[in-house]
Amino acid sequence: MTASSSVVAEKDETGRIFYTTVGHSTDGPAKKATRTTDIKAPRLFNAKSFQTLGHSISAIFLPAGYPNTVTPDYLHYQMYNDVQEFCSSLSGLLASRGALEGFGVGNASASATQALLLTVLKDVCSRFTTIIGAYYFGTSLYPETKTFRFLADVINDTSIVLDTISPYFTSITLSATSPYIPSGSTLQILALCMSGAMRSLCALVAGGSKAALTDHFASPVNSKGDVGEMNAKSASRSTVIALTGVLLGTLIVPYITTRTSIYTALFFLVFGHLLANYLAVCSVVLRSFNRQRSSILWSTYRNPKAGADRRPAVLTPRDVSNREIILDIPSRIRNAATNIVIGHCSLGISVQYAMTRCSTPHVLKMLQHFQAELYVLFVAEPRSWGRRGPCILVSFKEGYGTLDQLRAWLHASEIAAIWSAHPSPSPSEIEDMVLSTRETLRKEFSRFMECMKEAGWNIEEGAMMMGSPGSVILPSETKKDM
């Protein structure tokens, strides 16, 4: 009888390769499948021990299959995000102490009933803010993920500052005679209610934008991660960071009692929190189109740098991420080279609204010129809105899609670019401008999309418009039937 064995190479979910020897021999008992390891003299600490510890920590706090199941920007974002959560947990202790003092803790003249009523009033303001905020910002969270993720922490820090300084409002006396000027206690109640409203708005905005970021992190180019498991690991890390901040805060906060020390500590914590959050948002590299990113791509594509070949310039998602403005109004059209606002565009408006901003002959001409398109573009008269550059309004027709939204926005960007070079055009020049840019889009749009796909952009996923349009234009047959 002869002995036989085999070595099997395997790769685990993290990409590490290990070897397993499978074999048996007639000279001895059958061997079990074992992973090959190097036998060395035992040590208390060695490279193998640290490597095993690193893998264990990675399995507990990082998504399964890391780094193959997440995007490359995941780790940088989470590092900055952990720093900002640590700062937030420390400043939250100061805010909690201030809120308790505002409710009457430590005040002999305060009663439990007054504290209960104030808590109910603060809770009512928070719940109403959640309802109103979801109505106004719900459709904006996905298209402008990075903006609202940073804005959420700005709102949160505002609530922390209000809670921390609310006990000092009772010492403010603006007027002792006029009943129309609020007293110190009234200012304290208003500060606590506003703090509760802002905290609930922060939870709403942060939750929506975080969901969009998680979906992005779980969508690498060559694989797909588990969104649910990623959220669970994120909650696990947040728990550890928050617990560490609270334990450290219990040692520090008792010594921060004077007004100067409170303001100093609050300043550094809020500054560190906002800085870490800003760096975290800037490190995210999104591959979907929104208004700002598509404007940067189109402007660079249409105006390449001077050279011998004059080939279109194509930016990667990383290049565009470095040029994005975090806090910006989505309707603005900017020059990609100078970041100067050259126009404004509103997507998904009704023809009835366009009639209030544009002349009737212009609306009729645009409806006729865009019969073959799934969108209609109107240029408002400059006097009707009082801003620099064109104000472009876009209505969509029934059956429009994501590419039609992108095409309409690029059309508006092309008009704004030409307008900035030739300001104050006449009505006939505006009409010629719209028609010439439409032909430019027809010639260049397909090639532009092919170049974007080769550069790594997800051309099938777009977030141009916030929500659904208020109305869409129905086909002519529907009007005849009516």
Residue 321, token pair as written in the block? 């991420």
Nearest to 90 by CA among 284, 242, 279: 242
Where does a domain end: 243, 258, 282? Answer: 282
- Pair (251, 392) in one structural domain: no
Task: Output the domain CATH number for residue 264.
Answer: 1.20.1250
| Contacts with 189 (C-beta within 8 Å, 6 or more apart), sequence order | 118, 121
Residues 90 and 191 in one domain: yes
* DSSP letter, residue 68: T
Residues 452, 431 within the same domain:
yes
DSSP 16: -
Domain identity same for 275 and 316 = no
State the number of CA atoms in the 13 A half-sphere of 83 facing the CB: 17
Distances (CA, A) of 289 to 10, 174, 298, 449, 465: 39, 51, 11, 11, 10
Give pLDDT, residue 385.
Answer: 52
pLDDT for 181 beyond 50: no
Residue 66 in any domain: the answer is: no
Locate tokens 């990383």: which residue? Answer: 318
Shared domain for 362 and 218, answered yes or no, is: no
130: in domain: yes
Residue 449 near residue 298, CB atoms below 8 Å: no
Query: Do 277 and 332 sit in the same domain of this protein?
Result: no
CB 171 within 8 A of CB 157: no
Task: Number of helices (H) and strands (E) in the chain: give both, helices first.
Answer: 14, 7
> Reading across the β-sheet that carries 4-11, which strands appear in turn?
4-11, 17-24, 34-35
What integer is the mean pLDDT of 166-185? 57
* Whether residues 271 and 297 fall in one domain: no
Residue 69 lies in a domain: no
Reported as a single tens digit per residue, the pLDDT across 433-444 is 999 999 999 999
Whether residue 210 sits in one domain with residue 337:
no
Indicate whether 54 belongs to any domain: no
Token code pair at residue 127: 């719940």
- Same domain, yes or no, for 272 and 313? no
Residues in CB range of 183: below 8 A, 6 or more apart:
173, 174
**Together in a domain, 10 and 132:** no
One domain for residues 352 and 476: yes
Which residues constitute the domain of residue 35? 1-39
Decide if 45 is inside a domain.
no
Please tell me whether residue 146 adopts helix, strand or coil conformation: helix
Is the residue at 59 inside a domain? no
Choose the final residue of a domain: 282, 314, 334. 282
For residue 172, give Cα distances in angstroms to 87, 141, 186, 434: 29, 39, 10, 59
- Residues 303-350 have pLDDT tens digits of 876 444 567 788 999 999 999 999 888 888 988 888 888 889 999 889
For the residues 409-417, what does the mean pLDDT come to?
93
Residue 56 lies in a domain: no
What's the pLDDT score for residue 367?
A: 92
Residue 433's contacts (CB-CB under 8 Å, 6 or more residues apart) are 379, 415, 418, 419, 425
Span 139-158, pLDDT tens digits:
777 888 899 899 999 999 99
Q: Are residues 274 and 357 in the same domain?
A: no
In this predicted structure, what is the pLDDT of residue 80? Answer: 93
Query: Per the structure, how many domains does the chain have?
Result: 3
- The DSSP line for 216-250 is HHT--SS----HHHHHHHHHHHHHHHHHHHHHHHH
User: Does 367 fall in a domain?
Assistant: yes
